[in-house]
Structure 1
């Protein structure tokens, strides 16, 4: 099974999810450090659609200025545009497999995608 992890190495939960994926037999893992290589707007839209959530639900509030910028109440395109411009606003870790997409908080959420 192929899995893509949208990863921030400074995030403990993201590191734990990566360890789960690396330890799992049969998982072909691609790790994308999204702060260095941010996803495109189209990719973010696809990820959130596949996860069944709105971009606002994928917004990282803690440690960002998202609330001050009014992003939790903004329209989807405004949120996506902000995330592309400032990828720290993307909540992590996002994992994509053939079974779907999820923000894996807590880290055991990744097991539902395997």
Structure 2
């Protein structure tokens, strides 16, 4: 199993102001997103951040996304280790297979994903 990228998820309901900051001030490129999430980055796939309102499917907000090449293996290890799963392993209609887990400190929710 390999980690492909780690990216922060910034919560905001002020998408136009976020666009102004990340695109116009910091010079990041806005990439295709969804109604509830914006993506900003560069030509390097590893450089990306998300600005999101409430997650479309989950009532829990993920602070960080970790993209892996085998989400099923990570899920199995998390369950075996007794890690708190706060959103079940799910195939989303927008092309991700993902689950959320809680950081041992109790505050960070991590969105573990794999592109289908």
The TM-score normalised by the length of structure 2 is 0.25
Report the TM-score when normalising by structure 1.
0.25
Larger fraction in helix: 1
Q: Which has the larger radius of gyration?
A: 2
Q: Whose strand fraction is larger, Structure 1's or Structure 2's? A: 2
